[in-house]
């Protein structure tokens, strides 16, 4: 196997971000700093495969790069954490002829996700019925849970454990289905530390964490003394965030501006599309944006321009939509800092944290 030397990968990714910001966002940036992943391989805690049943048998792997309709059978993914690799090998060996133990369909999407303690869950999308999931759990060593998802990504039934408890920082997150957490847990810790720092001093400030997922960043900022609103469409993640907020022990005594105020009173979470909910949660001192690859909707841009916060911290997985969105916000905000983080070694993907400051203080 041949691959680009890792230092060259980092430089190329930083150059991709800088070039996108210049060409698409019309932002003059120099060479960006890039933060490397602690692991070059075996870093992904979540991997999705396509399983296709054919007359010749079962193919299970990835879509071919140069022929998307073709499935390349994959016995081992070098980017997956070792626990996922072990379960994938055991699952392939135990699912029976024609993958008969799994729900019926011509094609299934199988997502394996690993918790930090090594337990692995399997999320199945696209199937009918439950198959022989009890047998699959018994025979696929290391597999602790199976979830079935509907077309909206909601868990409709499960076998084994209902959720896997994931340790993320100082909080436990109940993993189920395909709910979003960064796939590279080690590199994500460095990104989160940087993003939190870019928010500045938040004690006594109002923060909106848009596309907040499980709300871990929002909870951390609340513990730092901010009043935080987290917004996300994922109802499972928001319910988990609300649960974590309720069980935070103690309070926030000893923190500036937070004496005697329980942590859950400082963090509130909404299950709603950001483009619908953001305007109603402004004004704010700091807004964090962490959208999917398509970037932020025009309604989000308009809300931020109408009631501009002092600072925006934008976490992006797509340099092109990041550049587009920063350009759209450019009349009211200046780019103050930008750093690339390699959460996806051996791929062309790169994560970026851009910090914007309001041009004309109100």
Distances (CA, A) of 253 to 201, 256, 260: 17, 8, 5
Active-site option among 77, 199, 212, 317? 317
Rounded CA-CA distance 155/121 in Å is 13
Q: Running DSSP on this structure, what letter comes out for residue 184? A: B
User: Torsions phi, psi of 361, nearest 5?
Assistant: -55, 140
What pLDDT sits at residue 134?
79
For every residue of 23-87, DSSP letters joined together read HTT-----PPEEE--S-SSS-BSEEEEEEEEETTEEEEEEE-SS-TTSEEE-S--TTB-HHHHHH
Distances (CA, A) of 193 to 69, 127, 273, 341: 40, 40, 26, 12
Rounded CA-CA distance 58/64 in Å is 16
Residues 6+ apart with CB under 8 A from 8: none
Element (DSSP H or E) covering residue 305: helix 298-306
For residue 18, what are its two tokens?
């800088």
What pLDDT sits at residue 257?
34
For residue 197, what are its two tokens?
């720092």
How big is the chain by its Cα radius of gyration, in Å? 22
Domain boundaries, the chain: 6-40+184-248+261-358, 46-175
Residues 6+ apart with CB under 8 A from 348: 13, 16
Q: Which CATH architecture fits 46-175? A: Beta Barrel (2.40)
Please confirm whether the linkage preceding 285 is cis (ω < 30° from 0): no
What pLDDT sits at residue 249?
39
What pLDDT sits at residue 171?
73
Q: Per residue of the chain (362 residues), what is the pLDDT tens digit?
A: 567 899 999 999 999 999 999 999 988 787 788 899 999 999 999 999 999 999 889 999 999 988 888 999 999 999 999 999 999 999 999 999 999 999 999 999 999 999 988 999 999 999 888 878 878 888 888 899 999 888 888 888 888 888 888 877 777 778 887 777 889 999 999 999 999 999 999 999 999 999 999 898 999 999 999 999 999 998 888 988 887 776 553 443 333 333 333 445 689 999 999 999 999 999 999 999 999 999 999 999 999 999 999 999 999 999 999 999 999 999 999 999 999 999 999 999 999 999 999 997 65
Residues in the chain: 362
What pLDDT sits at residue 176?
81
**b/e code 216-234 from CB counts within 10 Å (16+ = b):** bbbbbbbbbbbbbbbbbbb
**Overall fold of domain 6-40+184-248+261-358:** Rossmann fold (3.40.50)
Does residue 338 carry a catalytic annotation? no
């Amino acid at each position: 196997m041949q691959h680009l030397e890792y230092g060259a990968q980092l430089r190329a990714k930083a150059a991709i971000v800088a070039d996108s910001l210049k060409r698409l966002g019309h932002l003059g940036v120099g060479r960006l700093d890039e933060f490397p992943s602690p692991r070059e391989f075996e870093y992904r805690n979540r991997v999705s495969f396509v399983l296709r049943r054919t007359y010749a048998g079962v193919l299970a792997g990835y879509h071919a790069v140069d022929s998307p309709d073709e499935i390349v059978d994959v016995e081992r993914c070098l980017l997956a954490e070792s626990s996922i690799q072990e379960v994938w090998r055991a699952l392939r060996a135990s699912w029976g002829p024609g993958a008969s133990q799994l729900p019926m369909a011509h094609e299934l999407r199988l997502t394996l996700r690993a918790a930090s303690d090594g337990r692995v869950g399997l999320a199945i999308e696209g199937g009918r019925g439950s198959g022989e999931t009890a047998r699959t759990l018994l025979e696929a060593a290391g597999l602790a849970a199976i979830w079935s998802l509907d077309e909206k990504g909601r868990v409709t039934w499960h076998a084994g454990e209902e959720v896997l408890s994931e340790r993320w920082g100082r909080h436990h997150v109940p993993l189920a289905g395909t709910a979003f957490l960064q796939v590279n847990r080690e590199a994500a810790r460095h990104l989160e530390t940087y993003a939190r720092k870019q928010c500045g001093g938040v004690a006594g400030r109002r923060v909106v964490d848009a596309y907040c997922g499980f709300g871990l960043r929002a909870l951390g900022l609340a513990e730092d003394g901010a009043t935080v609103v987290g917004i996300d469409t994922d109802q499972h993640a928001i319910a988990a965030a609300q649960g974590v907020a309720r069980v935070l022990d103690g309070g926030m005594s000893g923190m500036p501006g937070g004496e005697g105020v329980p942590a859950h009173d400082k963090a509130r979470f909404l299950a709603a599309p950001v483009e619908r909910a953001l305007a109603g949660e402004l004004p704010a001192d700091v807004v964090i944006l962490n959208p999917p690859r398509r970037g932020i909707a025009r309604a989000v841009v308009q809300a931020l321009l109408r009631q501009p916060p002092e600072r925006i911290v934008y976490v992006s997985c797509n340099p092109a939509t990041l550049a587009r969105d920063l350009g759209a916000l450019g009349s009211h905000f200046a780019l103050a800092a930008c750093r690339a983080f390699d959460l996806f070694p051996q791929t062309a993907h790169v994560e970026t944290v851009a910090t914007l400051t309001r041009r004309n203080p109100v």
